[in-house]
Amino acid sequence: MRITLKNEQDIAQMRIAGRLASEVLDYITPFVRAGATTAELDRLCHVYMQQEQQTIPAPLNYQPSGYPPYPKATCISVNDVVCHGIPSEKKLKNGDILNIDITVIKNGYFGDTSRMFIIGAGSILAKRLVQTTYECMWLGIHQVRPGARLGDIGYAIAQHAHAHGYSIVREYCGHGIGTAFHEAPQVLHYGRPGTGLELKAGMIFTIEPMINAGGHETRMLPDRWTVKTRDRSLSAQWEHTVLVTPSGYEVLTVSAGIPQPPAFLCDT
């Protein structure tokens, strides 16, 4: 698949789509609490997209070859669900962790981002996993610049995860994005430095590491969407959409409520 370098018009539209996706997560944050159902969170997000933003939820009825249509506006993955969790009527409880993954379409352009949430105080294990996964995403983002390689991104992510005793999900990865939901290149969250595709200004792709507290193996449920850890260990994921600029990178999925980068990166 050919990689499309975005022009200034594309980039301007991607900034809008990315901001709107992030603003959905800002909006839903106060509603993420014990007793809420993921179906209710999905409904609120869907209404906000349609009525407040005039955006289209990209996941709704999305149907890659070999899959049934995805039935909801968002993906919400709880505890041992790695990705593509289908919102349901099951209530969230204290100690749960969840990822809310938002992709909106605005003016034909896609904005894609996700955040982790912890219900209540959360266990030490859960908090460490969520924080380390966030750091992994940012360490990957920090590698992005013209002349760098995709392997540099994956290596930085995997090294940090493995140093904390966690594993990297290998079957699912980041992806190019623009006027299509999934474009080239694939962005693996493991790799060897100095290998893989060379990054060029104008590329836009997601970095979205999925990190497991246990082994990296996964299993898919009969719904053909929900992916869980095979050993039932907790899994976490964060996601940003990133532009390769002439001098480095720009995160496109930014909004007023976005969590700040880890302090150790801000000092570099």
What are the pLDDT digits (tens) for 128-187? Answer: 999 999 999 999 999 999 999 999 999 999 999 999 999 999 999 999 999 999 999 999
Residue 1 lies in a domain: no
Looking at the domain assignment, is residue 185 inside a domain? yes
Tell me whether residue 3 is in a domain.
no
Domain that holds residue 94: 8-266
Q: What CATH number has the domain bearing residue 248?
A: 3.90.230.10
d(CA 183, CA 178): 7
Nearest to 122 by CA among 213, 56, 13, 27: 213
Under 8 Å CB-to-CB from 3, ≥6 apart: which residues?
A: 176, 183, 184, 185, 197, 203
One-character DSSP codes across 52-114 = II--EETTTT---TTSPPP-SSSEEEETTEEE-PPP-SPBP-TT-EEEEEEEEEETTEEEEEE
Q: Does residue 2 sit within a domain? A: no
For the chain, what is the domain count? 1
User: Distance between CA atoms of 40 and 81, rounded to whole angstroms?
Assistant: 18
CA torsion 228→229→233→237, rounded to 10°?
Answer: -70
| Confidence check: pLDDT of 206 > 60 | yes
In a domain, residue 213? The reply is: yes
What is the model's pLDDT at position 191?
97
Quote the pTM value.
Answer: 0.97
pLDDT in tens, 44-79: 999 999 999 999 999 999 999 999 999 999 999 999
Residue 26 lies in a domain: yes
Statement: residue 260 has pLDDT above 70: yes
Mean pLDDT within 207-216: 98
